[in-house]
Amino acid sequence: MKSFILRSAFALAISTLIFSCSSDSDSDPAPQECPPSFTGINCQTQINPSKIKITKFRVTFFNNQDNGASWDTGSGPDIFLQLVNGAGGSNIWISEIYYPDVLSTGTNSFEFVPNSPIIITNVTSSFTIYLGDNDAIDVPSNPNDLMSSILFNIYTTINGLPATLLLTDGKAIPFRVELSLQYEW
């Protein structure tokens, strides 16, 4: 009888150890709650937003010269921005202000804040941002100068949904601009 009790106690101890220990690999992963912009088991799949709002543009650098000459005789350019669909398509926005007689130093920047956010619903389309020199204020008035432009996609399926999108034209003396973005799903 003693032998039976010892064997039973041993069997009970072994079965308790076996059933009380489990490996995480034996079970399905627990469902994870993803932020609204991602889906999937590990939230690895980015969801396309239904809208992107551009709340601010910040010009951080531009070429102070037009092929070796000043943009404006005796002064710096009077900069403004314009956003259009595609490569020269319809106008979406033109800055309500311009900065008169400015030069880019690499340490200064120029902010353009739309009166209301620019709402982009065709989020996978391309856009062009233009940097211009406002010559309408010159005496005599001249057509505005195109200082530089950047063709870009505001959204890609792998961009990670940045709050600030950094753009550059890639030239030796670059035009650089940052877009402040908000997303909706």
Nearest alpha-carbon partner for 52 in 185, 182, 175 = 182
Task: Kindly tell me if the per-residue pLDDT of 14 is higher than 80.
Answer: no
Task: Kindly tell me if the per-residue pLDDT of 4 is higher than 60.
Answer: no
Q: What is the pLDDT of residues 101-127, one digit of tens each?
A: 999 999 999 999 999 999 999 999 999
Considering the chain, what is the average pLDDT of its residues? Answer: 86
Would you say how long the chain is, in residues? Answer: 185
Query: What band does 83 get if pLDDT is binned at 50, 70 and 90?
Result: very high
pTM above 0.85?
no
Query: What band does 30 get if pLDDT is binned at 50, 70 and 90?
Result: low
CA distance 176 to 109: 10
Query: What band does 74 get if pLDDT is binned at 50, 70 and 90?
Result: confident
Mean of pLDDT values over 27-38: 73
